[in-house]
Amino acid sequence: MRLNTKIGIVDDARVARMLLIKILKEAGYSDFVEADNGATGWEMIKSQKPDIVFCDCNMPVMKGLELLQKIRADGSTKSLPFVMVSAERMEADLERARENGVTEYVVKPFGAQAIHDIIHKHVK
């Protein structure tokens, strides 16, 4: 795990992105790239090459599951750690995310330690 890890955050809610950044800063991270939907998230991932991505499930333009599918289908991003973030634990969403290769699935609200543990586990 590296504290200089570049963390991608994809969420249509600016407040949610800011809250996650606050939590990540508390855990010692400082390098973030953001996008407000899956389509801009895909462009951000291709251009900025984050080490891990935290992505909301439900967004306009392109949902989190669609972004996950796109990432897993691309040779340059297929092994990118992808953490699906949701306000609710919907078993159907969780199952679809698992089927498509999600790395982790977390339910809001979450704390700095949980996020730090996920990054520590998946970013080498």
Return the domain boundaries, the chain: 6-122
Domain 6-122 belongs in CATH node 1.10.620.20: no
pTM of the predicted protein model = 0.92
Structure tokens given for 14: 């600016």
**Secondary structure of residue 65 in the 3-state scheme:** helix
CA proximity to 122, closest of 51, 71, 50 = 51
> Other CB atoms closer than 10 Å to residue 15's CB: what's the count?
8
pLDDT at residue 10 above 70? yes
- Calculate mean pLDDT across residues 69-87: 94
Q: By mean pLDDT, which of 8-12, 33-37, 92-96 is the weakest?
A: 92-96
